[in-house]
């Protein structure tokens, strides 16, 4: 297979389409050891460092994770290793390199890293468009909107599929296929769009097969200072409520109350009591993207390069990172609880692409066991995050040199952290493991796959992402065994409510502190290892038994032993005699 043919670059296998740009002798100032002499290789995809002295250190950093490159020290700086480069990464680490002070030795490498790490700022293409990787699986087929809606038993007598947005005319940040109340006409939708920020009207995210309650997502209503009302929007929300006979529609506004009020000044706002008589509004007090960005920055300060020692717990608390996680999770729990009790809900924040995506996708993860499978989780991300326009390009800043851009925010990371917290609390409920979550985050930044590029479907379509890049799911699904949780026990009907208490929330050490060699990193938990060993023993016994039964049936032609074909049948058969 061609995808496996890779050129050697020092010790690392280059990707098809990857090209070497420069090699250079350099000193890596490792914060955990000391300065390490070695060689750095820059390709159009990665920065690779290998020691040449005795300290075994390698670095393999996709250029996409770099958010900032700076020169450190000047030609006249004193002190050892004071002249070089400082690289800030998006994945919770910084890299420092030192070079010889003579002859502007860092100029070429600085410029090359700057250019290749931020290709979009230099009129170049992201690596995903240059990659020639090929996989047997095509990850772009993982999510087909119609297929997913059909899985949810949609459309039906209460909900219809509309193609009103087929050319992104109704809303340019929504996908083309939308599910809306059966009774709402396309004309109604257009009028509602006029009253919703960026035309992101309430559309269906998830349908409860038993009680027919729904999760709807949207942006804030354009109430403004004057407290404008819109009869069509009011009627539309009532249609949502009526669809399954919910007595009072619950509107979850993800923002803190004060922020929602403040949004009125810029034309936004929230659904008022008098205008929406059959609805109740609940504020979930989740802060905005700027607060989250600062929180993560503080977290990085206390874990990299060294873990804060003397006041670890109060330092951790002062970052508020886990507190935000708690609020997001408890918001999602409220949504899931409401829906499972039979009431339909509407979820929005300001624009409906950050906090809203977090809440709906987490609630769906709690309500629907399908999303807890490896494939289902991919569908969930494709649907709630990618197709509904979470602004990945703006939030991550793929290939963009403006590291201080105010649009940057770790909203998606925060969501993945919430998922991780759930997998910790329910170790048997998820088909995928922690490794999948880390791989997703690594490739959120790497720009190797097209999955997380661009802000919305319409931009992805006009740039032909599906045609020109490889999906992350092609990579993942070509070797799923790496991402399978052996303890997974499928349970279809159970709602999973995590405990959103600080007592249970913990810092995801294996992600946030993974660069620190002092922190214990168990590749595989000992219990998991033992479990896998036992699985192997079981399979061995089963095989032996099957062989014996086979030889029995050849010896005794009138044997009544059923010839069980699968291990499970064996087990049930074996259970009964005892």
Partner 1 sequence: MLSLGSVGAKSTKPSFVSYVTPEEIKLEKEPPKKLKHPDLLPGEVEFCSANPILKYTQDDLSQRGVFGTLFCTNFRITFISDEKSQEETTKTFKNKLYGENDIPLMFVDHIYGVYDEKRKLITGALVKNKYPSKIIIHCKDLRVFQFCLTYTKEEDAKKIFQGIAHHCLEEKSLKCVFAFSYTGTPSPEMQRKRETILFDSPEDWTQEMKRTKANCRLVTENENFELSQRLPKYFVIPSALGDLFSYQGKGFPIWCWSHYSGCALFKASLPPVTQEDGDFQKHFDIMINAVAHNYLYSAKTEDLSESLPTIQDIQQSYNKFKQFFLIENSTDFWLSDMKWFSSLESSGWLDIIRQCLQKAVEVVECLEKDNTNVLITEEEGTDLCCVISSLVQIMLDPYYRTLMGFQSLVQKEWVAGCHAFLDRCNHLHQKDKECYSPVFLLFLECVWQLVQQHSPAFQFSETYLTVLSDSVHMPVFSTFLFNSAHHRESVLKHQRQLSLPSTAFKTPFKKGFFKDETDSLKKMLRVKRLSRWMGSPDSTAAISREFYESWQQRPLDYHGLLLPCLDGPAVRVWMQRYLRWIPEVHILGGGSVAVMTKLMELLSQVQDLKRVLEQRDSSQAAKPDHRPYIQHRLLSFGSSGRLPSSFPFAYSRNRSFKPIIPTGLMQCLMLTDSLASQEDEASSFVSLV
Site of interaction with partner 1 (CB under 8 A): 307-309, 311-317, 322-323, 326, 425-429, 487, 489, 491, 494, 496-499, 501-504, 506-507, 509, 513, 517-520, 526-527, 530-531, 533-535, 537-538, 541-542, 544-545, 548, 571, 574-575, 578
Residue 487 CB, nearest approach to partner 1 (Å): 5
Q: Which of 240, 246, 254 lies closest to 189 in space, CA to CA?
A: 240
**Is 387 annotated for ligand binding?**
no
Measured from the CB atom, the residue of 182 and 312 that comes closer to partner 1 is 312
Alpha-carbon distance values, 302 to 31, 86, 291, 299, 512 (Å) = 14, 19, 17, 5, 10
Biggest alpha carbon–alpha carbon distance for the chain:
94
Strand extents, DSSP E, 143-248: 159-162, 178-181, 203-207, 214-218
Residue 272 CB, nearest approach to partner 1 (Å): 29
**Is 233 annotated for ligand binding?**
no
Residue 119 CB, nearest approach to partner 1 (Å): 36
Neighbouring C-beta atoms of residue 381, cutoff 10 Å: 26
Paired tokens of 113: 């890293």
**Is 477 annotated for ligand binding?**
no
Paired tokens of 8: 């050697």
Measured from the CB atom, the residue of 82 and 549 that comes closer to partner 1 is 549
**Is 456 annotated for ligand binding?**
no
Measured from the CB atom, the residue of 79 and 517 that comes closer to partner 1 is 517
Which residues is 35 bridged to in the sheet? 29
**Spatial distance between the Cα atoms of 488 and 481, rounded to a whole number of angstroms:** 13
Measured from the CB atom, the residue of 93 and 460 that comes closer to partner 1 is 93
**Is 330 annotated for ligand binding?**
no
Measured from the CB atom, the residue of 412 and 430 that comes closer to partner 1 is 430
**Is 351 annotated for ligand binding?**
yes
Cα radius of gyration rounded to whole Å, the chain? 27
**Is 306 annotated for ligand binding?**
no
At 446, phi and psi to the nearest 5?
-65, -25
Paired tokens of 256: 């803190």
Q: Is the dihedral of CA 421, 422, 428, 434 positive or negative?
A: negative
**Is 559 annotated for ligand binding?**
no
Q: Is the dihedral of CA 367, 372, 375, 381 positive or negative?
A: positive
Q: Which of 58, 60, 62 lies closest to 45 in space, CA to CA?
A: 62
Residue 14 DSSP label: P
Paired tokens of 131: 């990659």
Residue 219 CB, nearest approach to partner 1 (Å): 30
Measured from the CB atom, the residue of 459 and 495 that comes closer to partner 1 is 495
Instruction: Report helix, strand or coil for 279.
Output: strand
Query: From edge to edge, which strands make up the β-sheet containing 203-207?
Result: 203-207, 214-218, 345-348, 249-253, 279-283
**Spatial distance between the Cα atoms of 42 and 14, rounded to a whole number of angstroms:** 11
Paired tokens of 477: 């699904």
Residue 425 CB, nearest approach to partner 1 (Å): 5
Measured from the CB atom, the residue of 107 and 538 that comes closer to partner 1 is 538
Residue 526 CB, nearest approach to partner 1 (Å): 4
Instruction: Report helix, strand or coil for 70.
Output: strand
Residue 273 CB, nearest approach to partner 1 (Å): 26
Catalytically annotated residues: 349
**Is 353 annotated for ligand binding?**
yes
Cα-Cα-Cα-Cα torsion 160, 161, 164, 168, nearest 10 degrees, comes to 140
Binding site for substrate: what residues are annotated? 288-289, 349-355
Binding site: what residues are annotated? 288-289, 349-355
């Amino acid at each position: 297979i061609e995808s496996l043919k890779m050129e050697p670059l020092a010790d690392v296998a280059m990707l098809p389409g990857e090209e070497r740009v420069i090699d250079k002798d350099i000193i890596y100032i490792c914060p955990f050891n000391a300065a390490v002499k070695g060689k750095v290789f820059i390709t159009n995809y990665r920065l690779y460092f290998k020691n040449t002295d005795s300290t075994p250190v390698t670095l393999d950093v996709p250029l996409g994770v770099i958010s900032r490159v700076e020169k450190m020290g000047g030609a006249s700086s004193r002190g050892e290793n004071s002249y070089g480069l400082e690289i800030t990464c998006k994945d919770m680490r910084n890299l420092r390199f030192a070079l010889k002070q003579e002859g502007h030795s860092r100029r070429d490498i600085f410029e090359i890293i700057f250019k290749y790490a931020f290709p979009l700022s230099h009129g170049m293409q992201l690596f995903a468009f240059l990659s020639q990787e090929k996989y047997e699986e095509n990850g772009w087929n993982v999510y087909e909107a119609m297929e997913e809606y059909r899985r949810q038993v949609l459309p039906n007598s209460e909900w219809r599929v509309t193609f009103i947005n087929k050319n992104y005319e109704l809303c340019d940040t929504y996908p083309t296929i939308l599910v809306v109340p059966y009774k709402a006409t396309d004309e109604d939708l257009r009028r509602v769009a006029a009253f919703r920020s960026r035309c992101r009207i309430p559309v269906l995210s998830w349908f409860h097969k038993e009680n027919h309650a729904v999760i709807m997502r949207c942006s804030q209503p354009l109430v403004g200072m004057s407290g404008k009302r819109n009869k069509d929007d009011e009627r539309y929300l009532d249609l949502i409520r009526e669809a399954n006979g919910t007595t009072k529609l619950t509107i979850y506004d993800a923002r803190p109350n004060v922020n929602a009020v403040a949004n009125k000044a810029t034309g936004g706002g929230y659904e008022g009591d008098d205008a929406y008589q059959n609805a109740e509004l609940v504020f979930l007090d989740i802060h905005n993207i700027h607060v989250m960005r600062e929180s993560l920055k503080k977290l990085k300060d206390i874990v990299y390069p060294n873990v804060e020692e003397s006041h670890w717990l109060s330092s951790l608390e002062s970052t508020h990172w886990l507190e935000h996680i708690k609020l997001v999770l408890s918001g999602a729990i409220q949504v899931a609880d409401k829906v499972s009790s039979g009431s339909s809900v509407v979820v929005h924040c300001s624009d409906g692409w950050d906090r809203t995506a977090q809440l709906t996708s987490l609630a769906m993860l709690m309500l629907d066991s399908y999303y807890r499978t490896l494939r289902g989780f991919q569908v969930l991300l494709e649907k709630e995050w990618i197709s509904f326009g979470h602004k990945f390009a703006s939030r991550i800043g793929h290939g963009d040199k403006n590291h201080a851009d105010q649009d940057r925010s770790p909203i998606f990371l925060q969501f993945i952290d919430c998922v991780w917290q759930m997998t910790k609390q329910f170790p048997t409920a998820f088909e995928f493991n922690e490794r999948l979550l880390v791989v997703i985050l690594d490739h959120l930044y790497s720009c190797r796959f097209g999955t997380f590029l661009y802000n919305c479907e319409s931009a992805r379509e006009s740039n032909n992402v599906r045609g020109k890049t490889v999906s992350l799911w092609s990579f993942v699904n070509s070797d799923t065994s790496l991402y399978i949780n052996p303890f997974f026990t499928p349970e279809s009907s159970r709602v999973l409510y995590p405990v959103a208490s600080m007592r249970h929330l913990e810092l995801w050490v294996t992600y946030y502190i993974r660069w620190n060699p002092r922190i214990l990193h168990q590749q595989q938990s000992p219990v998991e290892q033992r479990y896998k060993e036992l699985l192997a023993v079981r399979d061995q016994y089963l095989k032996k038994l099957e062989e014996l039964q086979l030889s029995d049936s050849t010896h005794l032609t009138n044997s009544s032993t059923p010839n069980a074909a699968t291990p499970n049948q064996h087990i049930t058969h074996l259970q009964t005699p005892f």
